[in-house]
Amino acid sequence: MQGKLQQNYRVAREIERKALFEGEIPMERLPRVRELLRESSSADPVRVRFEFQRTPWGARSIRGRIAAELPVTCERCLQGMALEVDQPFELLIDSRDEDEEAGLEVIQTDDGWLDLFALVEEELILALPIIRRHDDVDCNEYWRPSEQTAETEAERDNPFAALAALKGKV
């Protein structure tokens, strides 16, 4: 099913139907992610595709992919940049301890209802790098070591050279 996504889904019904959903979530509906952006008003909607299913051992799960282009600030040059996020996810729903042995994360529902927007927010926040910066290290000229600095470091004496000389005398 494509189009506008609901915020809450009844897990039991959607798993029974093996429901597949695809659509977009406006950034205005994701306040915690919006706080991390440079210009939340210019952010494109988040594209989401997910399906409810059962794992091979019968546990309930949700699997999908979140894609977005987020306007963030490069922490090296302090200029704006677009950060591409394409994050797959698979989570167990209301899992028991024996189900968690599969190594999958668990999401809890609220009385059988899953808040999709909260899930998308969590996954986007986890997908963001701790330090957001351009791939190009030349984005800030002050971060580049100057040629003079490199020459000075090469000419500097090794502090252990004196110890090596003493060791040779012993």
Residue 148: pLDDT over 90: no
90 pLDDT tier (thresholds 50, 70, 90): very high
d(CA 109, CA 115): 8
Range with the largest mean pLDDT of 49-53, 79-83, 91-95: 49-53
Vertex 162: Cα angle to 159 and 168 (nearest 5): 140
Whether 161 is covered by a domain: the verdict is no
pTM score of the predicted model? 0.74
Range of the domain at 114: 2-143
Whether 92 is covered by a domain: the verdict is yes
Q: Considering the chain, what percentage of its residues have pLDDT values greater than 70?
A: 84
Q: What's the pLDDT score for residue 16?
A: 92
Whether 75 is covered by a domain: the verdict is yes
Q: What's the pLDDT score for residue 127?
A: 93
Indicate the number of domains in the chain.
Answer: 1
Whether 168 is covered by a domain: the verdict is no
- pLDDT (tens digit, 9 = 90+) per residue, 109-121? 888 899 999 999 9
149 pLDDT tier (thresholds 50, 70, 90): low
154 pLDDT tier (thresholds 50, 70, 90): low
Whether 116 is covered by a domain: the verdict is yes
Structure tokens at 79: 């200029």
| b/e 81-98 (16+ beta carbons within 10 angstroms → b) | bebebeeebebbbebeee
List the alpha helices (DSSP H) in the chain: 11-17, 31-34, 116-127, 147-155, 161-169
Whether 7 is covered by a domain: the verdict is yes
Whether 156 is covered by a domain: the verdict is no
Whether 170 is covered by a domain: the verdict is no
Residue 151: pLDDT over 60: no
Vertex 76: Cα angle to 75 and 81 (nearest 5): 65
